[in-house]
Amino acid sequence: MTLDIIRSDALNGFQHGFFTRKGGASSGVFDGLNCGLASSDQSNIVAINRSRAAAALDLTPADLFPAYQIHSADVATVTGPASGPAPKADGLVTATPGIGLVVLTADCQPVLFADREAGVVGAAHAGWKGAIGGVLEATVDAMVALGATRENISAVIGPTISQRAYEVGPEFFDDFMQDDPDNARFFANGEGDRYLFDLPAFGLHRLRSAGVGHAEWTRHCTYSDPSRFYSYRRSCHQKEADYGRLITLIRL
């Protein structure tokens, strides 16, 4: 099956892709392009899937540079091929050609960054913890340290869980109110004491506040489209044993 890759005109000039689950070798609950080595899927099948994704950007699996994602604001600057354990980080930046920065998600925001003039790219994994903790701003800062200019950076949020599918409790709401009372605009009332949180709108707000020249969301909801996307929350609601991870890549 052919790979299904979402791209953005805002990142034209850079090979990149928000990969869907289509076109992979996995089966069962992982059916499709599961690229999560931490899943209980067969490791050799995951390797095949990652190889297919790499090839779509004219890379080999050895050219892929992943992070050990921990829902943090930590960012790693990549200067060469991956060797040894992956860095514990949720943002990656590089000015080195031929390296594919990797983000894995299953409802959290995958965010790609690029500054054409400076020749610097970045990628971030931004769930609610990372987003409120500052991973998007930290990724921009790390790009600037490599020579990028804020107003020349384009940032694109890929498939993520949308507000209509993201129900949260009052404690979650309170955490955001303590951070900034203006965060109330990212919540809608749900049933009872529940709220609906707009993660991509919050991500766009943080990106624009960080001074990037352009920020957009591809407007794809992971929860609402099971044929194209894996979703952690959907798998929990359906009481599935595990879930696949979507891969997002960018390279110079």
Residue 177 lies in a domain: no
Give the pLDDT confidence score for residue 129 in this predicted structure: 98
Give the pLDDT confidence score for residue 20 in this predicted structure: 98
Give the pLDDT confidence score for residue 247 in this predicted structure: 99
Give the pLDDT confidence score for residue 1 in this predicted structure: 67
The answer to whether the beta carbons of residues 200 and 217 sit under 8 Å apart is: yes
Residue 174 lies in a domain: no
Give the Cβ contact number of residue 196 at 10 Å.
17
Q: Which domain holds residue 36?
A: 5-161+214-251
- Report the CATH number that the domain containing residue 35 is assigned in CATH: 3.60.140.10
Return all residues near 188 (Cβ < 8 A) that are at least 6 apart: 163, 195, 196, 198
Residue 199 lies in a domain: no
Residue 141 lies in a domain: yes
Residue 193 lies in a domain: no
Place of tokens 């050799």: 44
- pLDDT averaged over consecutive 10-residue blocks of the chain (252 residues)? 94 98 98 97 98 98 98 98 95 98 98 98 98 98 98 98 98 97 98 98 98 98 98 98 98 98
Residue 196 lies in a domain: no
> Strand 120-126 vs strand 167-168: parallel, antiparallel, or unpaired?
unpaired
Phi, psi of 46, deg, nearest 5:
-60, -40
Domains contained in the chain, number: 1
Calpha distance 138→144 (Å, rounded): 10
- Which letter does DSSP use for residue 68 in this model? B
DSSP 132-146: HHTHHHHHHHHHHHT
3-state helix, strand, coil in the chain (%, to 5): 30, 25, 40
Return the SS3 of 120: strand
Which residue type does 200 have? Answer: P
Calpha distance 121→146 (Å, rounded): 10
Residue 220 lies in a domain: yes
Residue 132 lies in a domain: yes
Q: Which sign does the torsion angle of CA 184, 186, 188, 190 carry?
A: negative
